[in-house]
Amino acid sequence: MNASVQLIRPSRHGDTRGWFTETYNRDTFAALGIECSFVQDNHSLSAPQWTLRGLHWQTPPHGQDKLVRCIRGRIYDVAVDVRKDSPTYGEWVGAELSAKNGHQLFIPIGFAHGFLTLEPDCEVVYKCSNLYSPANDGGIRWDSAGIDWPMPTGTALELSGKDKLLPTLAEFDSPFPYDGRPLAPLA
């Protein structure tokens, strides 16, 4: 069975030199129900504040579980349930990920993923459980799932041309099956 969306808070061990943290350990993650194998790492830089990337996924059979963290700056990271027949279809959860807090968000297959940069020059890295497949690349519009993005009213967002053309959630016919786990609030 797939793991649910989870906010991961790795421990940091610090001293006068700084800190050390373990961002991924197969056995630790398996104890949380996250048993996917990661095969690709991605790294993005979003220079302007209020850059919004998403909401994206890869369709079966090339779906991707993702483990996302922000290594410079601050982002608001979200996951939207897009699993057909899920009782929480269209619902979302979000969390602030930052270089300072070190939190990570695990997003399983069947969820749309996106993030908003809360300051300039944000770098985001994430692990994926499947390789990138352009033919399976998909998404929905950032403003079609009722997400309460933390930005001032009237903010001019930086969006890619591709993201501006994505269909709305209402127009989307999901190929993702429901796995029996409704979306739950982040602990």
Report, as residue numbers or ranges, the catalytic residues.
56, 126
DSSP type of residue 51? B
- Cα separation, 113 vs 99, in Å, equals 19
Whether 173 contacts 85, CB under 8 Å: no
CA count, 13 A, side-chain hemisphere, 174: 20
Pairing of strands 74-81, 92-98: antiparallel
Sheet hosting strand 104-107, strand order edge to edge? 6-8, 104-107, 66-72, 122-128, 40-46
What's the CA angle centered on 30, arms 28 and 34, to 5 degrees?
A: 115
Please provide the distance, in angstroms rounded to a whole number, between the alpha carbons at the two ends of the chain. 20
Report the sign of the C-alpha dihedral through residues 178, 66, 58, 155, in that order.
positive
